């Protein structure tokens, strides 16, 4: 697994949190998963508190069971996973994740686009939170770990912190982005783009899925949209102002061979591929040879 994070200084560099013990481990749960969860807990604490707390109770078994359960919410038969934005199984997955957040003792809210936040209060709840999360939508015939590990792992990490009686200076949040994949409208990262104000509502209104459904119709038919009358107001309501997130870390599967080849359990990403598409208009007379 890889941890992807936005650079952000810890509140007190050099004061590392103490993270101990994995509560439930069996032979079918690889040590790399437990280590990844412990690393996630450590990063969250380092960015959110000046204390050196002890955290116990990360459960790899519970996380695996949750991954398996979420994998059943698919348009295709597992282990092939298909879960498309604002469809029936996507909505069921949202309800499942919100239930896990509540069970972990988190305060749950869902914004107008469908980003879901599970919050663990801090000593000063007015401070911007430290956030960890990912997405649960899945392209057709994909796997059950992409994105899901980052969402459920964040919930498990916050559960461990809360059950250990640790209170951080800053609030902590587990985040499930509305979507990452471009499957439905040909546009990726709708959830995070909406949070950052990087979506043009007029452009979004021009997009259609394969059935001719527009974004506004899709989001409202899925019970989202927050009662707003148009796409512009939906996006405006989902916007998080600059400085609204103190730091972000994502636990993610590698989707590559390097960690396995090197015999490593976890790595920290320093650079990542940034796919882009460019449209060209060619003017002139068409001809076979130019």
Neighbours of 60 (CB within 10 A): 24
pLDDT level of residue 177 (50, 70, 90 thresholds)? very high
Q: Is residue 290 situated within a structural domain?
A: no
Read off the pLDDT of each residue in 93-114 and give the average, rounded to a whole number: 98
Model confidence at 28: pLDDT above 80: no
pLDDT tens digits along 205-254 = 999 999 999 999 999 999 999 999 999 999 999 999 999 999 999 999 98
Cα–Cα separations (whole angstroms), residue 127 to 33, 59, 130, 172: 30, 29, 9, 10
Q: Domain with 195 in it: what CATH number?
A: 3.40.630.10
Read off the pLDDT of each residue in 40-56 and give the average, rounded to a whole number: 76
> Average pLDDT of the chain?
87
> What pTM was estimated for this model as a whole?
0.85
Report the range of poorest mean pLDDT among 118-122, 140-144, 280-284.
Answer: 280-284
Model confidence at 89: pLDDT above 80: yes
Report the range of poorest mean pLDDT among 86-90, 100-104, 161-165.
Answer: 161-165
Q: Is residue 7 situated within a structural domain?
A: yes
pLDDT level of residue 13 (50, 70, 90 thresholds)? very low
Model confidence at 11: pLDDT above 60: no
Domain that holds residue 150: 2-268
Q: Is residue 230 situated within a structural domain?
A: yes
Q: Is residue 61 situated within a structural domain?
A: yes
Q: Is residue 276 situated within a structural domain?
A: no
Q: Is residue 277 situated within a structural domain?
A: no
Number of domains in the chain: 1
pLDDT level of residue 64 (50, 70, 90 thresholds)? very high
Q: Is residue 215 situated within a structural domain?
A: yes
Model confidence at 133: pLDDT above 80: yes
d(CA 45, CA 279): 44
pLDDT level of residue 269 (50, 70, 90 thresholds)? confident
Read off the pLDDT of each residue in 133-152 and give the average, rounded to a whole number: 97
Q: Is residue 251 situated within a structural domain?
A: yes
Model confidence at 201: pLDDT above 70: yes
What are the backbone angles phi and psi of residue 138, rounded to the nearest 5°?
A: -140, 135
Read off the pLDDT of each residue in 265-277 and give the average, rounded to a whole number: 84
| More confident position, 23 or 129 | 129
Expressed in percent and rounded to 5, the helix, strand and coil fractions of the chain are 35, 20, 50
Model confidence at 107: pLDDT above 60: yes
| More confident position, 38 or 51 | 38
Model confidence at 119: pLDDT above 90: yes
Question: In 147-174, which positions are buried (b, 16+ CB within 10 angstroms) versus exposed (e)?
Answer: bbbbbbbbbbbbbbbbebebebbbbbbb
How would you class 208 by CB atoms within 10 Å of its CB: exposed for 0-12, middle for 13-18, buried for 19 or more? middle
| More confident position, 268 or 78 | 78
């Amino acid at each position: 697994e890889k941890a992807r994070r936005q650079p952000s200084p810890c509140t007190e560099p050099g004061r590392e949190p103490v993270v101990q013990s994995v509560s439930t481990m069996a032979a079918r749960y690889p040590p790399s998963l437990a280590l990844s969860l412990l690393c996630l807990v450590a990063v969250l604490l380092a960015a959110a508190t000046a204390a050196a707390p002890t955290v116990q109770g990360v459960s790899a078994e519970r996380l695996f069971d949750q991954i398996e359960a979420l994998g059943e919410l698919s348009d295709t038969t597992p282990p092939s996973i298909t879960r498309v934005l604002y469809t029936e199984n996507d909505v069921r997955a949202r309800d499942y994740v919100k239930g896990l957040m509540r069970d972990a003792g988190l305060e749950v809210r869902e914004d107008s686009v469908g980003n879901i936040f599970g919050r663990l209060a801090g000593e000063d709840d007015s401070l911007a939170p430290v956030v960890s999360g990912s997405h649960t939508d899945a392209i057709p015939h994909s796997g059950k770990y992409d994105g899901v590990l980052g969402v459920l792992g964040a919930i498990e990490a916050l559960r461990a912190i809360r059950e250990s009686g640790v209170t951080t200076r800053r609030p902590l949040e587990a985040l499930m982005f509305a979507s990452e994949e471009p499957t439905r409208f040909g546009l990726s990262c709708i959830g995070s783009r909406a949070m950052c104000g990087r979506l043009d509502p007029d452009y979004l209104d021009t997009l259609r899925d394969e059935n001719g459904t527009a974004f506004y119709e899709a989001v409202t038919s899925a019970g989202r949209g927050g009662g707003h009358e148009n796409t512009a107001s939906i996006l405006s309501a989902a916007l998080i102002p600059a400085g609204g997130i103190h730091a972000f870390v994502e636990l993610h599967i590698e989707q590559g061979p390097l960690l396995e080849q090197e015999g490593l359990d976890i790595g920290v990403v320093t650079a990542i591929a940034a796919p882009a598409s460019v449209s060209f208009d060619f003017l002139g007379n068409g001809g076979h040879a130019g």
